[in-house]
Amino acid sequence: MQKTLDLIRAFGREEDGVTAIEYGLLAALIAVAIIAGATLVGGGLNTLFTNVGNKLQAVVVP
């Protein structure tokens, strides 16, 4: 029984798992920020490239 309690205490003191979880949460937060930024900028870029494409098509094909 004492050996089991010692293993549980050692597991509680282990910090590698906590660090991995923190890095995972940080990576998820960065991914959400990138997706949100791409979504916000994506609409404007789509409009910009559509306008440029239309102007190029008007110049190339009279």
**What local confidence, expressed as pLDDT, does residue 20 receive?**
81
pLDDT tens-digit profile of 11-50? 767 666 677 888 999 999 999 999 999 888 888 888 999 9
**What local confidence, expressed as pLDDT, does residue 43 receive?**
83
- Token pair in block for residue 44: 């404007």
**What local confidence, expressed as pLDDT, does residue 53 receive?**
92
- Token pair in block for residue 21: 């979880």
Asked whether the predicted pLDDT for residue 10 surpasses 90, the reply is: no
Sign of the torsion formed by the C-alpha atoms of 32, 33, 34 and 38: positive
**What local confidence, expressed as pLDDT, does residue 3 receive?**
84
